[in-house]
Structure formats: structure tokens, C-alpha cells
Amino acid sequence: MRSSRIIHVVSAHAEGEVGDVIVGGVAPPPGDTLWAQRTHISNDQTLRNFVLNEPRGGVFRHVNLLVPPKHPEADMGFIIMEPAFDPPMSGSNAICVATVLLDSGIVPMEEPETHLTLEAPGGLVRVRALCRDGKAERIFVRNLPSFADKIGVPLEVPGLGTLRVDTAYGGDSFVVVDAADAGFEIVEDEAGDIARTGMRIAEAANEQLGFVHPENPDWKHISFCAFCGPLSKTDT
């Protein structure tokens, strides 16, 4: 079966979080800013449906589109496509993009350390990469300005009652809850219940608390629920 549409994608992940990178076959979308380009992709849905849905994708897959940067300080721009939303920034996707850029030679690598600047739809992301033998082995990113929005506010969640939660932004928008308050220890066999409960909490937070980024009123929802617990350390 022949296809007239060929997109070149490099597979990547950051600690298991899939963040594939489109390196060819897709023209930059229209828009004077990366946010405008991101909004075009989000509204149009054609590229999202092609790369995120089965048989090529699924709920596990994030895909990043490389585009020429708009900011003079940036080495490369990237637009993040996730199953539900196209966020301003994503740490794991920035790590994947930086790794692909360096390992593929799109951006020249300097050993033992390479510095580069990425432009996400939400702003500039500074990257420091530790490199050896032609491979980027460790990636450090400096995220967009992050902030807490609401602290310790009550949230009514069906089946859970009243929870005290925080809302925050760190490239994407979150409702943050103490795992113990929701009945979780954050262990492996709770994964399914945590995911389902997190979606209910995020839905309740959008209905009752809301979120609007103070510098980007187009970003006006809570994307995720983050469960927190006490810090634990191992000897490994």
C-alpha cells in the first residue's frame, strides 16, 4: 500500500515518558509566534489526529514538532502535542527534543557539555546536556517561570468529600493534592485507581477553582492532578 504522506519521526522517551520528535515532512504551521502556531495545530487537529491516534499513536504518546524559532536567542523551536492538550511547555518533552537534536546532529554537539536554548510555545527553555561519545547522556532543563496559584483551598470531589488542594503552573497547569488525603500511598498497584481519581479531581478543580495564566489568558484550564507524598530515600 502506497502513501503520499511521509513524516520523519525519531522515537524518544524520558524515563519512560514517550516524547517522539518530528524531524521532517511537516511544514511549520502558520503564525507569527510559536503560541499562534501551536494554536493552529490545536484548532486544526489534522496533524494531531495523524500522529497521536492509532495506529500510529495512543494515549501513551506525545509528539513534538520541530519548527524554526521565533526568538533570536533560541536554537530550535518545538510544539508539543499531547493526547488531551498542546501545552505551553513540558519538561519530559523538552528532554526528548534536546536529546534528539544532539544525537541526530541537527544541533552541533560539544563534549563534555553542550548548552542550547529551545523555544516552546510558552517561552524559552535553557538546556544543559552532558555528552560523551556522540551521545547526550544527561539533560538538564530550566523551565518557564513557575508559580503557585491557590494554596490550601477546599475542593469537593464526589466520592472523596472535601480535599485541601493547591493549584500551580510549571509549563502546564496542575491541581496538587496530598495522596494520603485521597487514600493513596503511591505504590505500584494503586496506579489505575490513582489515574482515575486524578481525572475526577482535575475535573472538579476546573469546575470549582479554575485557572487562567496571568500572562497568557488563552491558557485557562487545569490539565493534570499531581499526587504528593513524603520524601523517601533508598540506598541504591
Whether omega before 55 lies within 30 degrees of 0, making that bond cis, reads: yes
Judge whether 90 counts as a catalytic residue: yes
Determine contact, residues 86/80, Cβ cutoff 8 Å: yes
Angle in degrees, CA 2, 49, 21, rounded to 5: 80
Tell me how far apart the alpha carbons of residues 125 and 145 are, in angstroms, rounded to a whole number. 10
Of the residues 90, 92, 146, 173, only one is catalytic, namely: 90
Residues ≥6 apart with Cβ < 8 Å to 25: 5, 6, 7, 8
Residue 159, amino acid: G
Tell me how far apart the alpha carbons of residues 51 and 146 are, in angstroms, rounded to a whole number. 29
- C-alpha cell at position 103: 544525537
Burial class (CB in 10 A: 0-12, 13-18, 19+), 31: middle
DSSP-assigned letter for residue 206? H
The residues assigned a catalytic role are 90
